[in-house]
A and B are shown apart, each in its own frame.
Chain A
Amino acid sequence: MTALLSVRDVHTRYGVGKQVLRAVDGVSFDVERGETVGLVGESGCGKSTLGKTILRLVPSAEGEIRLDGADITHLGARAMAPHRRRMQMIFQDPFGSLNPRQTIRTVLDTALKVHGQGDRGERARRLQEIVARVGLPADALDRYPHEFSGGQRQRIGIARALVLQPALIVCDEPVSALDVSIQAQILNLLVDLKRDLGLSYLFISHDLSVVRYFADRVLVMYLGRIVESASHATLWRDPRHPYTKALFAAVPSADPTHKRAAPPIKGELTTDLSAGCRFNARCPAATERCRVEEPLLRPVGEGHHAACHFA
């Protein structure tokens, strides 16, 4: 059986003046049906661009994106429409991603209308179902975004993504803007929806604790490339790439007796893509070889890949 989403050697480039920024630089992975794939990395590593590329919100320069086996990489707007319904997105900022002048009913109904779903009565019924499903009060449909709290607005964002009954949802930092007590509510809701509706998620986040809890498989991204991928259990037990190890070590634990190690890496993400490993300038274990030869993603264990000469 083919994977729900299959991404092969995808490149996305932005023109920055005369320069070209290679935001996504040769990424390949699959998302199986019912699977949650976590995508972690620091700001600027290309994880959001990768999400948008998959949804065809930004064009990919090279590579192939398949949804349900169908190649959607170069489809025009009209041919793309039926596929769009199958994959939706939840954004980080529930304040910025809702039109303040539209009621929730308009926001949700527009999606159905655009995709020619159902007649008026059927749509109204669908909206009521979806609003109840994401835990909003029944009168929410005729209210405006500003009448809701941050957590409720994110529920609206989820409802909008779900209303078209997609198979894949790309969640771009869905809980990063929310308070801790609300984060747990939204994560629990996403888990329930996945279970009940058989959804697959591509879950993009910079927060390792959240990804650890939420993902079945994790991709670690650094400067446009996947540097490590593994099942959640393997990755946390046995990280191989020095960047992954550094990320884990940097997350502060809520146990004050847990001694914090000195920051294992120096500096910050750069955009220097000269020869060799992209991480070598910050890597505590870099050798001459790392400065010359770029490591490729290779198997280091069962379902476990890492792009490091020494992994």
Chain B
Amino acid sequence: MSLLAVEGLTVAFPGNIAVREASFAIAPGETLALVGESGCGKSVTAFSVMRLLAPNARVTAGRILFDGIDLLAMTPAAMREIRGKQISLIQQEPMTSLNPVLSIGAQIAEVIRRHERVTRKAARARVVELLELVRIPDAARRIDDYPHNLSGGMRQRVMIAMAVACGPKLLIADEPTTALDVTTQSQVLDLLDDLRRRLGMAVLLITHDLGVVAQWADRICVMYAGRIVEQAAIGAFFTRPMHPYSRGLLGARVDVGADEHYSLNRLSEIPGSVGSAAGEAGCAFAPRCPLVVPGCRLAVPPLIAQGERAVACPVVI
């Protein structure tokens, strides 16, 4: 059974529907990447799972089943028991997610003591173990440091320590390395992957970087303008992306391994921008799509599953 099953999730903000009929599932221990451009609804999807949506957002349809229980039907009190214990979240900017006036040790201990009955002393010992687990050197001393004493990469490690403190089954990582340098990025993602294996967590990895997806995820969900347009296993996706948007994304990306230079070849572009289809019926990608046919502008193409793969484009199937 899936650990998490999102079914037909639709999230509306005043004047804007951010997520439309999104369905996907995550198996225990798996890393699923949720990919798309800014504003495509990937973070809103994650926040829906955490039940941390802004007050003006409304889930208008769908279910979010975690271990078979609908999170959307839970009381706020029951949800607080799940958040941080069964499902936790790390965000892009570790500086704004950490409390600047509390030591990092106190912040991690707070999570443990919120969910488990342990003494202060025992919690502190656990925090040192956790800091060692996320490979912060000299953990016993750094435990009393404040966020401003730490570099960006170290802060993100603290966030990870806090997120895994109670052994969650699902970790949602929302652009966990976007604010970090590339050498730090691979260290942090390797650490996350190692923890996933050791603790048997599933990871929902939200990113816009296809390189990160190729190297660290098992499956991918591509979102465009609030809808999931393609789902596939990593190998299949990168050998043969199907949806025109997925193809466009891979084509527009400059890969560090490819022998490309402006003097030799022009980058392939996806023309226009996400806003191009505002207010129009049919497929949201149609105004930018090289394969567009008249039918695309009539109705929204459904996500059609073929084995492990699903694509929302009748033209390529």
Residues on A close to B: CB < 8 A?
36, 42-43, 149-152, 179-185, 187-188, 191, 206, 208-210, 212-214, 216, 232-233, 246-248, 250-258, 260, 262-263, 265-266, 268-269
Contacts and interface: CB of A to CB of B under 8 A. Distances in A.
Q: What are the 10 closest A-B residue pairs judged by CB atoms, nearest first?
A: A252-B211, A181-B270, A184-B252, A179-B37, A42-B181, A184-B267, A209-B256, A252-B215, A251-B256, A256-B214
Contacts of B153: 268
B252 A43 contact: no
B8 interface: no
Interface stretch (B141-149, B166-174, B258-266): B258-266
Contacts of A183: 252
A213 B234 CA distance: 25
Given A179-B38, A185-B269, A253 B256 contact: yes
Given A213-B262, A253-B215, A254-B211, A246 B238 contact: no
Contacts of A232: 261
Interface string B158-189: 00000000000000000000000111111101
A263 B187 contact: yes
Interface of B: 37-38, 151-154, 181-187, 189-190, 208-216, 234-235, 238, 248-250, 252-257, 260-263, 266-271, 273-275
B252 A255 contact: no
Contacts of B37: 179-181
A208 B211 CA distance: 12
Contacts of A206: 181-182
A247 B273 CA distance: 31
Contact of B269 (A188, A216, A254): A188
Nearest to B238: A256
Given A181-B273, A209-B255, A255-B257, 4 more contacts: A149-B273, A181-B37, A181-B249, A257-B235
Most chain B beta carbons < 10 A, residue from A188, A206, A212, A213? A213
Contacts of A262: 190
Contacts of B260: 212-213
Contacts of A260: 186, 215
Contact of A254 (B183, B210, B262, B263): B210
A191 B269 CA distance: 13
Contact of A213 (B209, B249, B261): B261
B188 to A, nearest CB: 10
Given A184-B268, A184-B270, A260-B215, A208 B275 contact: no
A8 B253 CA distance: 35
B252 A180 contact: yes
B185 to A, nearest CB: 7
A184 B260 CA distance: 13
Contacts of A252: 185-186, 189, 209, 211-212, 214-216
6 contacts: A151-B273, A181-B37, A206-B182, A252-B211, A252-B212, A258-B257
Contacts of B261: 212-213, 232-233
A265 B238 contact: no
B290 to A, nearest CB: 13
Contacts of A187: 254, 262, 267
A268 to B, nearest CB: 5
A208 B260 CA distance: 12
Contacts of A265: 183
